[in-house]
Amino acid sequence: GAQTTQLLVEPLWVPAVLWDRVTLTCQGSGTAGATTWYKDGQCWGQEVRDNFVVSKSGTYICHKAGTGLSPLVRVLNEPLCSPAWLVLQLAARTLLEGDTVTLRCRC
């Protein structure tokens, strides 16, 4: 099968929000080496490490040599609580029809 790069989010809630202290981890089965990170569509840098704690909201993608780009992860930030910024989150996993889903509402 095709090798892929995955961008894992901790804690496992989507959408990810900064007040949860979000850690992103890039995993790929390609060539060992540096990870290239992209934020908001722009190359953000190349790092030896595969994970970091997010400090700014935005969209993140990573790349590992030989496995391509990861899916996009969006990290939100809104320090004020208002009805416009209630965030409904669900556990970040594959869902199948009939699965029980746990949701949480955050402000």
Give the C-alpha separation, 51 to 30, whole Å: 16
The predicted model gives 18-30 an average pLDDT of: 86
Give residue-wise pLDDT tens across range 30-60: 666 788 999 999 998 887 788 899 999 999 9
Give the C-alpha separation, 16 to 58, whole Å: 10
Q: Distance of CA 106 to CAs 13, 59, 73, 94, Å?
A: 11, 20, 18, 21
Q: What is the pLDDT of residue 2?
A: 59
In a domain, 84, yes or no: no
Which pTM was predicted? Answer: 0.73
HSE-CB at 65 with a 13 A cutoff on CA atoms is 7
Q: How confident is the model at residue 81 (pLDDT cuts 50, 70, 90)?
A: low
How many independent structural domains does the chain possess? 1
What percentage of the chain exceeds 70 in pLDDT? 85
Nearest to 47 by CA among 38, 59, 56: 38
In a domain, 58, yes or no: yes
Q: Residue 62: which CATH number?
A: 2.60.40.10
Give the C-alpha separation, 78 to 74, whole Å: 13
Q: Identify the domain containing residue 66 by its residue range.
A: 6-79
